Structure 1
Amino acid sequence: MHLELPRLSASRAAFLASLAISALSACGGDPKPPPIPDPPVVTLTITEANAAPKVKIRLLVSGCDPVAQTEIYDREVFLKTVPYTSGSMDFELAANELKYTSGLAATLALHAKVTCSDGRSNVSQPQAATFLPVTKVVKDADPNGQVVTDFFVAEGNGTGVNFIGCGNPTTGVGTLFRVDANGALQQSVALGVPCNASTVYTDLHPTTNKRWVWTPGARAVAVHQNFTISGTSKPTIFLSSLSMMNNGDALIADDDNIVYRLPHDSGIGAPKWTFASQWPLVAPPLQKGSDVLVAFMKQPEVTTSKVLQIVVARLDANGTGDLVPVSERAILNYNGDFGSPPLASFSPDGTVLYLAFPLGNNQSSIQACRVDVTGCEGSGLKWNSPALP
């Protein structure tokens, strides 16, 4: 005898199948993926930069145990890896580990990239600093005090170095200061010249042991190594340039295109000679042997106002009174604006005049012309630069 099992309808079979699947899921079927951990939190702090032997940084990482790798970057430039493990840790960046793209100081934007052992990573916020590498830092005992003036020059080297700078104390009188390598004030003298970022200190003359200190738009002062003043320009002369002659005298030019030879031992005396240029000076005068070279921009023909000349005149360096040129040479003809003379400078030996002409888009070019050849072309043209930013 055969018994037939009851048959399930299609709808009932589907219902039972769904119950079975639900039961399997409840008993540990396919699990849900675990949540993705948050990235680590990275903090970089610059604890010492500015003028220092090294840049000091502090790192703190949380949410990453353990840390597999820590990298330090300046913007997008990789600098080094550091052995970070845990907690707050200090590290140093040596001067030779940094990039210097705009002068002696490095302009930094440091950040750290941390990678965890499980592959997660994150970067810190960038921290900005300016770093000037030095071998030694001398600080004033007063947190608000200054060891040297804002702008200064170094004299000597090693432990015997002194720092000389011009500052404006509470009296308001421009004063020259000398401090030693430990920051102790050695000497000072009132100059009667306003001190600012444009104040210039010439090298010490090897024979007279004097240097000239001058501020554009103001006066020049001859200062001996022992901080005594031996010569100064008249307060009615407003300087635009100064260069030192072979014997220590100063060649100065003023805003009225007048050139003076000022003795270094004249007190507040008259200059030895003057030369009044009828045309705008374009370069600081320079002594070359028994001559003084003076460069000016000239308009040779009034009817052709756009045609201009650069002329180099030679003066008698040992003359007296009101001088006239011994000779003149037009070393360059060009089309230009008489109201915008080029910037210019003689080479140290006086054989070349460098002329900077403005171009569009805030660019310029430099032309190097021989001063002993008429026309800056052929053998008279030393070189011509490409467009410079």
Structure 2
Amino acid sequence: MLHPPVTRRAWRTALVLVSSLAIACGDDPPPPTPDPPQVALTVPQGNVAGTSLKLIATIAGCEKVNTLNIYDRTTFLKAFPSGGGTTNFELLASDIPYSNPLVGLAASLSLTAEVVCDDGRKNTSLPQPATFFPVSRANDDPQGLQVYAMPLAIDGSGSTATFLSCAKTTTGGIETMYRHNASGGAAGTLQAPTLCNASTVITPRNAQSGKRWVYTPGYGAFAIDRDFKMTARTPVDLEVNDLVVFPNGDALIRSVQGLIYRITHDTQDGLKIGVTRWEYQREISVGTPVGQLLIRGDGRVLFASHIEYSENRADIIVEELDGGTDSAGGTLQNTHIIRQLFTSNTATPRPVGQFSSDGSILYLGFALPEDKSQVLACVANLEGCEGNASKWATGVLTGKVQQIATYANGSRVAAATTQRVWLLDSTSGTIRNRELRSVDANGALHVKYLLPANPTSDLFFLNAPAAQGSTATLPVELVGVDQTLGSSAEGRELFRYQVSVSMGAAFDDSGRLWMRTNQKLLELQTTSQYRSARP
């Protein structure tokens, strides 16, 4: 039956009224959903080398916190208990996934904190960046504000290690060396008789004499014993170019002027001037040093020089001296012209060089046009570096070679250009970098120091900003290189750690590498530990 319009409007009004009464008499509407909790993550120190990374989480909006989860990007790292409010906690070195290509070693992290309330509500913090480099031991540096990060030398190992370092120049020009242990306390001091700065070299402790020599290129040198006392020094007018140590502890020195000296490590002189056992001066023109001096196992002294006869003619020669202390000491035994250099209208190239540990090979690095180089392995007691007198020559390497070092018990040669490190097989000159790619300093940094971990196959190098004129710059980056097993083992970058302040590094008596930076003394993990974290 159809209803007229008035009747239909009456029905609709009645239905609305009934619905309203039903709502008024039924259940209350659900309460509004609570706001999500709030969480903020703080990384107190964004760049850490240590055994753990400290973090702070600030939580609000949970009556009770069920869990606090930490993520690196989308990777879950660890859950922590929290009572809400401010929670201090730390990630251990073992909590971080270094094998993740986005993380690496040192670990480059983007951390977030997720808070979960007991009622299921949760929220995530904004990401916070952090860099973490794992080490075995981290101690506060008692002299962190007073000394250069380099030079650095270490006696002992582990918790018994003591550290030798060099102080900045004080008012009045007095130079100071420090010796202290990692646990702090008063440091031993020694007034240095010569300039002691970021270019200073501290030699390894000599097994027979128990002494070290300390020298700064262009200045003097002095010997110190285990009691941190000076036992000898060079004559005041001797400017040291480079220095190595005889088995008995005496110093073999090449002066800036090109003379060769043997000077004793102890003396009865009231001014502590060491006795000059002998002095050698070449009869022909003074040459430019090529590589370091070498004391061969039979006591003979080897050194290489670039002898320039004219603007476009020069020789690379190796001279051999009797290194003894009798009347024959310092006498010339042999001279070999390793390479004759001729150019048409430019100065002859001056190579960098390094002897093999037994003195049989002289490695020479020559710069080529267009920022290229070549390394030659020349027999050190034959003429010409050709045919039987040449062991090998590399192809063209990118970069201008600046230094050469042997490592892996002499089976490898590291050739460092301004910014690249090439790893070469010492028997063939074959490049042993993984995928034939050099291991490079980061950005605009330059390779400063090569640190071979002989006799192992590990190599480390320190990188620094480019030198500013004659002013030495200190390293800010440490790179570790390891190699796979086998005769054709390839070298690869194992870790890389960079700081905004300066750093130094040295090996202790057990062969473990230590790093000094940011007022910390840090014992690095073994290479096998780093390798297991980043296979």
Same-fold call, TM cutoff 0.5: yes
Cα distance, 1:114 vs structure 2: 3.1
Cα distance, 1:86 vs structure 2: 5.6
Matched with 1:383 is: 429
Q: Percent identity?
A: 23
Change (3 A) 1:232 1:130: farther
Matched with 2:186 is: 185
Rounded Cα–Cα distance in structure 1 between residues aligned with 2:342 and 2:60: 67
Asked if 1:315 is matched to 2:317, the reply is no
Matched with 1:114 is: 114
Rounded Cα–Cα distance in structure 1 between residues aligned with 2:354 and 2:204: 18
Matched with 1:155 is: 155
Read off the aligned partner of 1:327 and give its amino acid letter: T
> Cα deviations across residues 339-380 of structure 1 (Å, max 9, x unaligned)?
7633322233323334445578877665544434523438x9
Matched with 1:31 is: none
Matched with 1:291 is: 300
Read off the aligned partner of 1:80 and give its amino acid letter: L
Read off the aligned partner of 1:167 and give its amino acid letter: A
The 5 A counterparts of 1:102-251 are 106=106, 109-112=109-112, 114=114, 122=124, 124-128=126-130, 131=133, 133-135=135-137, 137-138=139-140, 146=144, 149-151=147-149, 152-168=152-168, 172-185=173-186, 187-251=188-252
Rounded Cα–Cα distance in structure 2 between residues aligned with 1:357 and 1:369: 13
Equivalent position SS for 1:221: strand
Instruction: Say which of 277, 282, 285 aligns to 2:290.
Output: 282
Rounded Cα–Cα distance in structure 1 between residues aligned with 2:358 and 2:70: 51
The 5 A counterparts of 1:334-353 are 338=347, 341-353=350-362
Equivalent position SS for 2:354: strand
Matched with 1:55 is: 53
Matched with 1:259 is: 260
Conservation of the 8 A alpha-carbon contact between 1:44 and 1:125: no
Rounded Cα–Cα distance in structure 2 between residues aligned with 1:147 and 1:53: 22
Larger radius of gyration: 1
Change (3 A) 1:287 1:58: same
Change (3 A) 1:40 1:174: same
Conservation of the 8 A alpha-carbon contact between 1:57 and 1:92: yes
Rounded Cα–Cα distance in structure 2 between residues aligned with 1:56 and 1:226: 39
Change (3 A) 1:47 1:261: same
Rounded Cα–Cα distance in structure 2 between residues aligned with 1:364 and 1:84: 58
Change (3 A) 1:301 1:218: closer
Equivalent position SS for 1:285: strand
Conservation of the 8 A alpha-carbon contact between 2:206 and 2:212: yes
Read off the aligned partner of 1:315 and give its amino acid letter: L
> Cα deviations across residues 67-107 of structure 1 (Å, max 9, x unaligned)?
7773343xx69582232546322222334455889xxx947
Change (3 A) 1:263 1:339: farther
> Cα deviations across residues 309-367 of structure 1 (Å, max 9, x unaligned)?
6433322223456x546121416879897576333222333233344455788776655
Rounded Cα–Cα distance in structure 1 between residues aligned with 2:372 and 2:56: 42
Cα distance, 1:257 vs structure 2: 3.6
Equivalent position SS for 2:137: coil
Conservation of the 8 A alpha-carbon contact between 2:39 and 2:57: no
Change (3 A) 1:331 1:358: closer
With normalisation by structure 1, the TM-score equals 0.69
Asked if 1:327 is matched to 2:324, the reply is no
Change (3 A) 1:174 1:98: farther
Q: Which runs of 5+ in 2 are unaligned?
A: 7-11, 24-31, 100-104, 268-272, 382-387, 394-425, 441-535
Single out whichever of 175-184 and 286-295 deviates more from structure 2.
175-184
Cα distance, 1:284 vs structure 2: 0.8
Matched with 1:374 is: 389
Change (3 A) 1:6 1:79: closer
Read off the aligned partner of 1:265 and give its amino acid letter: D
Rounded Cα–Cα distance in structure 2 between residues aligned with 1:242 and 1:161: 25
Rounded Cα–Cα distance in structure 1 between residues aligned with 2:229 and 2:235: 18
- Root-mean-square deviation (CA, aligned residues, Å) is 4.9
Conservation of the 8 A alpha-carbon contact between 1:199 and 1:216: yes
Equivalent position SS for 2:69: strand
Cα distance, 1:259 vs structure 2: 3.1
Cα distance, 1:220 vs structure 2: 0.9
Change (3 A) 1:173 1:5: closer
Matched with 1:44 is: 42
Single out whichever of 45-54 and 216-225 deviates more from structure 2.
45-54
With normalisation by structure 2, the TM-score equals 0.53
> Cα deviations across residues 100-127 of structure 1 (Å, max 9, x unaligned)?
89xxx94755522537688976553434
Equivalent position SS for 1:284: strand
Change (3 A) 1:45 1:360: farther
Cα distance, 1:256 vs structure 2: 3.4
